[in-house]
Amino acid sequence: MMDCIELNSVNHYVVAKQHLANSPASAALTSVVRDVAGLHASNTKTPYLSLLARVPGFKKEQLHNAIYQGHSLAKIRCVRKTLYVHCAENLPLLYAATGSTVAKASENYMIYRGVSLADYEVLSERILRMLAGSSLTAAQIKDELVTDLDISAVLYYMCDCGLLVRDSPVAGWLDKQHRYSLFSEVYPSLNLAALDERDAVAALVREYIAAFGPVTDADIVWWTGLGKIRVRSALRSLRSELIDVRICGQSDRYHMLEDHLGALRDLQSGGSPNVNLLPALDGYVMGYTDRSRFLDPKYRDRVMDKSGNITNVVMVDGQILGVWDVADETSPSVKVHMFEFVQHLAGEKIYAQAKEAGEFICGREVRFRQCDKMEPLESRPAGAFMAPLSGC
Confidence class for position 80, pLDDT limits 50, 70, 90: very high
| pLDDT 10s digits, 362-381 | 999 999 999 999 999 999 99
C-alpha closest to that of 85 among 132, 233, 94: 94
C-alpha closest to that of 37 among 169, 204, 171, 188: 204
Q: What are the residues whose beta carbons fall under 8 Å from the beta carbon of 189, sequence distance 6 or more?
A: none
| pLDDT 10s digits, 113-128 | 999 999 999 999 999 9
What's the CA gap between 216 and 229, in Å, rounded? 15
CA angle (174 as vertex; 348, 18 as ends), nearest 5: 50
Pairing status of strand 136-137 against strand 178-182: antiparallel
User: What pLDDT score does 270 carry?
Assistant: 64
| pLDDT 10s digits, 243-288 | 999 999 988 999 999 999 999 988 866 678 999 999 999 999 999 9
| pLDDT 10s digits, 34-48 | 999 999 999 999 999
Question: What is the value of pTM for the model shown?
Answer: 0.95
User: What pLDDT score does 330 carry?
Assistant: 86
What's the CA gap between 284 and 50, in Å, rounded? 9
% pLDDT > 70, the chain:
98
CA–chain centroid gap for 373, Å, is 28
Mean pLDDT to the nearest integer, 318-330: 94
Q: Is the pLDDT of residue 1 over 60?
A: no
What's the CA gap between 313 and 278, in Å, rounded? 5
- Mean pLDDT across the chain: 95
Q: Is the pLDDT of residue 29 over 80?
A: yes
Confidence class for position 2, pLDDT limits 50, 70, 90: low
% pLDDT > 90, the chain:
90
User: What pLDDT score does 42 carry?
Assistant: 95
What's the CA gap between 224 and 78, in Å, rounded? 8
Domain ranges of the chain: 12-186, 195-265, 295-386
Mean pLDDT to the nearest integer, 202-227: 97
What's the CA gap between 2 and 10, in Å, rounded? 14
What's the CA gap between 149 and 142, in Å, rounded? 9
User: What pLDDT score does 292 carry?
Assistant: 94
Q: Indicate the burial class of 218 (C-beta count within 10 angstroms; 0-12, 13-18, 19 or more).
A: middle
Confidence class for position 210, pLDDT limits 50, 70, 90: very high
Q: 195-265, what's its fold?
A: Arc Repressor Mutant, subunit A (1.10.10)
What's the CA gap between 319 and 294, in Å, rounded? 5
Residue 311 DSSP SS3: coil
User: What pLDDT score does 266 carry?
Assistant: 85
How many of the other CB atoms lie within 10 Å of CB of 284? 27
Number of Cα atoms under 13 Å in the Cβ half of residue 144: 15
